[in-house]
Amino acid sequence: MASIGQYKNEDLVKENKIFSAIRTTVETAFYSNTVKHITNRTEAYELAKHAQGAVVTDLPIYQAEEQGLPADAKVIVFNDGGIVGRTAAARKIIGQPGVNEGALAKLVREAAYGMQRKNTLTADVLVGLDTKYTVKSHLLVPEGYETNVLSYMLNFQEITAEYAEMYAESQPYPVGDLFVMADPDWTSTEYPDGLALFDPVHNTAVILGLRYFGELKKGTLTLAWAAAHRNGFVACHGGMKQYTLPDGSKYTMAAFGLSGSGKSTITLAKNPDKYDVTVLHDDAFVIGEDDGSTTALEPAYFDKAQDYPMTSDAVKYFLTCQNVGVSINDRGEKVLVTEDIRNGNGRTVKSRFFAPNRVDHLQEKIDAVYWIMKDDTLPPLVRVDDPALASIFGLTLATKRSSAENIVGKVDMDALVIEPFANPFRAYALGEDYRDFKHLFETMQADCYILNTGFFGATKVKPKHTLGSIEAVVDKDAEFEPFGPIAGLSYLPVAGFDLDFTDVTYLTQLKARMQNRLDFIMAKKTELDGYHALPEGTEEAVQRILVALDDAIAANS
C-alpha cells in the first residue's frame, strides 16, 4: 500500500479529503529553510554520535554495514529524564467527542511557528515491509534530538534503493503520507503532561512536550494502523509467528498482549528440536481481510532492556538504547547497565538479526489468535469455540499496566484493567475493531485461545506452562475439557492448575470477572456519547455466561 506524497496542481484543492488544517500546518513546517533533511542511517548515526548528551559506548553494532551504518558503529545511549514511558493521558484524537479541532488547529499553528524559529531535522522511512502494505512516514524534530532520529530510522525501514523499488511497486491507496511533528521542549500550562495529538483520517501526528522515543514509534504506528484499518486490514498490536512441522504443514498464530504480558517471549520462543519457527514481528503487523495474510510494519524491535544484562547474547543485537545506565568494565570499555537498575522501562532498539528466522510477510492465512491476559480466575490455556465470544474476550482483554507507561495520577498498577485487543493506540471507534476481529473468527475461521500469563489463584503461570500449552495445540495433542457450566469454552488441563467447578468461592470470583466484562461493554454505550459503543446485542453472550454461573453457584451452595 503506497501512500500519496505528491499531487497534481488540480488536486491541491479544498475538496481533497487528504488535506486538513492540522495536516497542512504540519506538512508546511517540513519545508522551512531551517530544516536539515537526513537522507540515510549513516548520516543519522554521525549526527547522533555528536549530539549533546549522547553516550557512545564501546559496544560494536553487529553487522553494522548490512544495516546502513558505518562499519565501526557503536551502540549509542541517550537518556530522557524523569519520564521514561508513554503518557497515555497526553493523547487527543481528532474526531472523538469533546476534542475541539478548531482550538487544537490553532495550538498546532503556534507549535509549528515555534519549530520554524529553531533548527530542525527531518527524516523519511517506510512503515510496512511488503508491497501489500507500506506507507511513507516523515519525522520532524528540533536539533538536539539526533539520537531519536537515528532510533526512528533504525526502528522503521530506511528508504534504500531496494525498498524504494518495493515501494514503487506497492498497491496504491488514496491516503496521504504520514507526517509526525515532535517538539520535546514544548511546554504548556494547559497541557502540563504534554500533548500527543492525532488527526488519523489525515495521517498527521503532533507530539509536544514528550521526550520518550516510544511516543514517536507508537505515534507513527497509531497512524499506520488507522490507515490500514480504513483500507481493508486488521490493525494488530501483537506478535505473529509460524511453525513448520516435520510433515511440512504450517501453523500460523498471533499473540495479543500489552508490554510485559509475555507477548515477545511467546513470539520469539523457538524449539528447533521439534519445529522450524518463522517470526514476523513481536509488536506491530496488519492482517489482510481479503486473504488472512500478514505484513510486519517494522524491521527492528523496540524492546525492554530489563531482561538483558551484559552477559546476555541479546546485547549483541542492540542498535541504540534509551534510559539505561552506562559503566566501565574491567577492560576499560563503556558498557551498559540494564535490568532497570537506573529506572523502569529501560529500552533498546534491537536489529532484525535478533531473530535469524525473520520474515516480513506471511502469505498463509492466520490459523489462530491467542489473547494474553492476567486474570487469576483463568487457567493457563482456554479455548473459545464461539466466534462471538472469541471477539468479546479480545474486546475485554483483562491485563495489568506495565512500566512502559507513564501513569498520570494515582493508579493501582496491580489492578486488573481491560485493554481492548491489547491496543491502547486505536484512533477510531472500538466497534470497528470488534467487527474486524469477528470477521477473522467467522469468515476466516481462525481459532481462538486465551493465555493467562499471570496467576491462577495463588499459583504463578510460568513460561514453561504457556509455551508447553501452545505446543500441545500446534502438535494437535491438546485434549480440552469443558470449562464448567460455560458453553463455548474449554480448557487444557495443566499439572498444578486444578479447576473445581463445585467450589462456590471460585465460581463467585469467576462471575465477578465476567461481570467486569459486561460492565465494560455496557459502559461503552454512553461513554464519549457512545463513540465506542459496540454493535447491539454484543452483551448477550456475556449475560448468558453470568446466568450459567448463577445456576452453578446455586446448585453448589
**What is the β-pairing status of strands 489-491 and 2-4?**
unpaired
Cell triple for residue 259? 508490554
Flag whether pLDDT at 264 surpasses 80.
yes
| 389-403 mean pLDDT | 85
What's the residue count for the chain? 557
| 124-143 mean pLDDT | 98
The span from the first CA to the last CA of the chain, in angstroms, equals 59
Q: Where are the domains of the chain?
A: 9-44+82-231, 235-288+367-498
For residue 403, name the pLDDT band (cuts at 50, 70, 90): low
DSSP, collapsed to helix, strand or coil, labels residue 505 as helix
For residue 272, name the pLDDT band (cuts at 50, 70, 90): confident
pLDDT at 132: 97
Q: Report pLDDT digits (tens) over 193-221.
A: 999 999 999 999 999 999 999 999 999 99
Flag whether pLDDT at 377 surpasses 60.
yes
Residue 287: its H or E element: strand 284-288
| 285-301 mean pLDDT | 96
Would you call 73 exposed, middle or buried from its count of C-beta atoms within 10 A (0-12, 13-18, 19+)?
Answer: buried
**Secondary structure of 3-37 in the HEC alphabet?**
EECCCCHHHCCCCCCCCCHHHHHHHHHCCCCCEEE
pLDDT at 416: 77
pLDDT at 381: 98
pLDDT at 406: 61
Rounded CA gap, 128 and 118, in Å?
32
Q: Report pLDDT digits (tens) over 465-499.
A: 999 999 999 999 999 999 999 999 999 999 999 99
Residue type, 504: V
pLDDT at 410: 57
Q: Report pLDDT digits (tens) over 95-114.
A: 999 999 999 999 999 999 99
Rounded CA gap, 357 and 376, in Å?
34
Architecture of domain 235-288+367-498: Alpha-Beta Complex (3.90)
DSSP, collapsed to helix, strand or coil, labels residue 191 as coil
* Average pLDDT of the chain, as a whole number: 95
Check if the beta carbon of residue 405 is closer than 8 Å to that of residue 86: yes
Rounded CA gap, 216 and 210, in Å?
9
Taking alpha carbons only, the member of 377, 359, 396, 378 closest to residue 256 is: 396
* pLDDT above 70: percentage of residues in the chain: 97
The torsion region of residue 251 among left (phi > 0), alpha (psi -120 to 50) and beta comes to: beta
Angle in degrees, CA 130, 37, 219, rounded to 5: 55
DSSP, collapsed to helix, strand or coil, labels residue 168 as helix
| 401-419 mean pLDDT | 63
Q: What DSSP designation does 464 have?
A: H
Cell triple for residue 65? 554495514
| 249-273 mean pLDDT | 89
Rounded CA gap, 97 and 119, in Å?
36
Grid-cell match 469454552, residue found: 489
Q: How far from 448 is each of 255, 262, 306, 356, 381, CA to CA, in Å?
A: 10, 17, 31, 28, 11
pLDDT at 271: 83
Q: Report pLDDT digits (tens) over 333-370.
A: 999 999 999 999 999 999 999 998 999 999 999 999 99
pLDDT at 399: 84
| 540-550 mean pLDDT | 97
For residue 405, name the pLDDT band (cuts at 50, 70, 90): low
For residue 409, name the pLDDT band (cuts at 50, 70, 90): low
Q: How far from 114 is each of 108, 121, 141, CA to CA, in Å?
A: 10, 14, 12
Flag whether pLDDT at 294 surpasses 60.
yes
CATH of 9-44+82-231, one of 3.40.50.20, 3.40.50.1860, 3.40.50.300, 3.40.449.10: 3.40.449.10
Residue 548: its H or E element: helix 540-556
Residue type, 385: D
Would you call 4 exposed, middle or buried from its count of C-beta atoms within 10 A (0-12, 13-18, 19+)?
Answer: middle
